[in-house]
Chain A
Amino acid sequence: MDPALFFHRFQFGFTISYHYLFPQFTMGMALLIVILKTQALRTGNDRYEKSARFWAKIFGLAFAMGVVTGIPMEFQFGTNWARFSEATGGVIGQTLAMEGVFAFFLESSFLGLFLFGHKKLSPRMHWFSAFAVFAGSWISGFFIVATNAFMQHPVGYEIQGDGTLALNSLWSLLLNPWLFWQYLHTMIGAVVTGAFVMASIGAYYLLLGRGQDATEEARGHAEYGKIFLRLGVLVGLPASILVAFPTGDMQAVNVAEHQPAAFASMEGLFETQEGAALVLIGQPDMEKMRLDNPLEIPRVLSFLTYRRWGAEIVGLEDIPQDQWPDNVPLHYYAYHIMVGLGTLFIAAMALAGWLLWRRKLYESRAMLWILMMAAPFPFIANTMGWMTTELGRQPWLVYGILRTEDGYSATVSAGNTIFSLLGFMGLYLLLGVLFLFLVAREIGHGPAFNEEK
């Protein structure tokens, strides 16, 4: 690979992966905060209002991180992927500009009112500002996934004489069949992250507030812990299921239909087979073109993909190598880590849901520990999901139309890109440390701390 191309890809991959740690949390948490605010309005119970305020502080920090790491994303389309922007601006200019007009202004206008306006605004107006932030972030998600869906499965365009793309139907672009399942899958994935984090912090406060020697303050936090845990599980259980069925399942069916090379690569399928097995574990060996140490369930992959046990699935060996994703093992691992974690999420949330129903959750030490420790894993699963999508699209920027090697900025040399990459790495490391420090402080203060003020 051309070193310039390598570093352009490295920088975009690094900055987008880091960026998405924050929106996935804030988009999920925005929904949970709206639920808390709605409960506060409906019941008049002050604990819900205080809970919302506690989460708003952490939300505000994460939102700021999302905004500042998001600005470079729009700019990098031009700085690092100039030939891509030139070729596709006639199409994706629509969705990128729509995101600004319909989402960013809404979010930024109401975020300040939501974070600092609860004394000045009426309860209803404050509820509305929370809702506007939630709506803005979900609309933003829609337009950015719509942009990605076009790159995965281009529709509504024509190729002009000079090789650039022109939109010919805005509705096709916005109603891209790929977009529907991808959007739902992405957003529900974000809800999983929000719900697990809320449940995790709830479990943490409950564990701290247990036993004879717990302080008065810790007992106070534990009362909020119950609210967090309950809401986290009530939202986390359906979200964990929905992210797999039907959204994840349908997303995989779309990949199988439209991107057969990506499908074979992510499933680790080298030979074309009838009644293909679902691989649980195994290491792709690209030299021998096989999976080492496989652990498989026979015929299940064929059934999941085509709803027939004996259906034929094309393996990599029958696809020309210049169509393969350029890093099959990484693609395969990303997908399998996502699916593996997703399965564990369903199991953990189902168990927690059952305990909640039997009114044993708040006392179940083992379950509280599991939920408390689970918080980082949805972030990993969401990141792996996007890696599956983006590595699977390779070697294309726009599937079947524009190859990645033809899309980067030819005038920006590898040396300049390494300079900016190192700058981003250093800056983001610093930001990450400060962010974790401030979030840990807020968690240390706890929700009951607000009560005294």
Chain B
Amino acid sequence: METLWFYLVAVVVAVYVVLDGFDLGAGTLHLFVARNDSERRTVLQSIGPVWDGNEVWLLATGGALILAFPRLFASAFSGFYLPIMIMLWLLILRAIAIEFRSHLKSPIWRPIWDVVFSLSSLLLAVVLGVALGNVVRGVPLGGDGYFFTPLWTSFRTSSIELGVLDWYTLTVGVTSLLALTYHGATWVILKTEGQIRDRAKRAAALTWPLLLLFVVLVTVFTFSIQPQVPRQMNANPLSYAFPLAALGGIFASQRFTAKGRELPAFLGSAVFLVGMLLSVVFGLYPMVLPAAGDPAASLTIYNASGPAYSLRVALFWWVPGMILVTAYTSFVYRQMAGKVRLDEEGY
């Protein structure tokens, strides 16, 4: 039962990264690919109807965590107190920038929100990567299952007091930024035409080799910092499917972008993100939050899970509920299929 919920949470996280990933990436590129007001409105309209729904997958992750793994929810959220607060402020600023920008047609008002939107998107992409890096590296869990990490200490992964930011987690953060920027570029290419699309293509072409370089770096670093990952993968060779899928996705995406096949290019990038994320998640399994130094103190799906009845009864409503969610999410995406047509109303 714990394992089943582990899969379900992993799926929700993966969907979140693919969906909010493209609107964060589009936000990061916003100032670069869209230079005047109508171009910027085009980018915003490409994500306007869906960004809120995409973010709900983050809330759904939180909900599924407190339901299925309450100890993980309690330990991780309080231990990463400062980065989570900063993430919340960035989420708030970004949402407000998207929603408030269109209300005033003013050459002062709109550029402010463009910068806020772009900067908060960029920082969020980094923060998500840093968070993942922290989970992989491990945290100084005490015997009671709690910890607290300051934002930074000495930037070393071996220091006595670990910080949220160190050279490894920052590398993961940069990788995340590159991956989501590339992902966002494939989305902008898919949804726009003309100059915006040309600039997004250039952005994708620039980001792609850098991303590949960082993927190699981050893989090497991860194997040395968290030996559990290669051990777990060797123990279960089927899990090599995830990194292979990721590699296939990123190379296919680059080919499709070059050939102008926009939807497959976007989907390739999505496969890459899911493959990378699941490689890590299943590399750590059955740990969900490794303890730095003392593996025995780690939170696993067994010692962090909720009571048995909770997990069992929740399946009866959670699974049908999520099928319903998938149905109307795809309905909304179908409503806005195709290139963005600028419209007087809206963003």
Question: Interface on A for B, CB 8 Å cutoff?
Answer: 60-61, 64, 67-69, 71-72, 74-75, 77-80, 82-83, 85-86, 88-94, 96-102, 104-106, 108-113, 115-117, 119-120, 160, 164, 166-168, 170, 409-413, 416, 419-420, 423, 427, 431, 434, 438, 441
Residues of B within 8 A of A75 (CB): 62, 77, 84, 88
Distance in Å: Cβ of A92 to nearest Cβ of chain B: 7
- Bound-state CA distance A116–B52 (Å) is 14
Residues of B within 8 A of A170 (CB): 313
- Is A101 within 8 A of B62, CB to CB? no
- Is B81 within 8 A of A427, CB to CB? no
Question: Interface on B for A, CB 8 Å cutoff?
Answer: 48-50, 52-53, 55-56, 58-60, 62-64, 66-68, 70-71, 73-79, 81-82, 84-85, 88-89, 91-93, 95-96, 99-100, 103-104, 146-148, 306-310, 313-314, 317-318, 321-322, 325, 328-329, 331-332, 335, 343, 345-346
Distance in Å: Cβ of A137 to nearest Cβ of chain B: 13
- Is A112 within 8 A of B50, CB to CB? yes
- Bound-state CA distance A412–B149 (Å) is 10
- Is B99 within 8 A of A61, CB to CB? yes
Q: Which of B73, B85, B148, B346 contacts A411 (CB 8 A)?
A: B148
- Is A93 within 8 A of B66, CB to CB? yes
Q: Which of B59, B68, B308, B314 contacts A71 (CB 8 A)?
A: B59
- Is B328 within 8 A of A105, CB to CB? yes
With contact pairs A75-B88, A97-B67 given, residues A67 and B95 touching in the complex (Cβ less than 8 Å)? yes
- Bound-state CA distance A104–B321 (Å) is 12
Residues of B within 8 A of A409 (CB): 74, 78, 81, 146
What are 6 pairs between A and B in contact, CB < 8 Å?
A94-B314, A97-B318, A101-B321, A105-B325, A117-B335, A160-B307
- Is A112 within 8 A of B49, CB to CB? yes
Interface of B is mostly: helix
- Is A96 within 8 A of B66, CB to CB? yes
- Is A74 within 8 A of B67, CB to CB? no
- Is B60 within 8 A of A100, CB to CB? yes
- Bound-state CA distance A94–B316 (Å) is 11
- Is B318 within 8 A of A108, CB to CB? no
With contact pairs A61-B99, A68-B96, A105-B328 given, residues A94 and B310 touching in the complex (Cβ less than 8 Å)? yes
- Bound-state CA distance A83–B78 (Å) is 9
- Is A416 within 8 A of B56, CB to CB? no
- Is B335 within 8 A of A120, CB to CB? yes
- Is A60 within 8 A of B99, CB to CB? yes
Residues of A within 8 A of B52 (CB): 67, 108, 111-112
Q: In the complex, what residue of chain A is closest to B84 when comparing beta carbons?
A: A79
Q: In the complex, what residue of chain A is closest to B50 when comparing beta carbons?
A: A112
- Is B53 within 8 A of A105, CB to CB? yes
- Bound-state CA distance A104–B103 (Å) is 24
- Is B74 within 8 A of A89, CB to CB? yes
Q: In the complex, what residue of chain B is closest to A112 when comparing beta carbons?
A: B49
Residues of A within 8 A of B73 (CB): 77-78, 85-86, 89
- Is A93 within 8 A of B53, CB to CB? no
- Is A411 within 8 A of B78, CB to CB? yes
Distance in Å: Cβ of B189 to nearest Cβ of chain A: 22
With contact pairs A102-B321, A438-B100 given, residues A108 and B81 touching in the complex (Cβ less than 8 Å)? no
Distance in Å: Cβ of B341 to nearest Cβ of chain A: 10
- Is A93 within 8 A of B70, CB to CB? yes
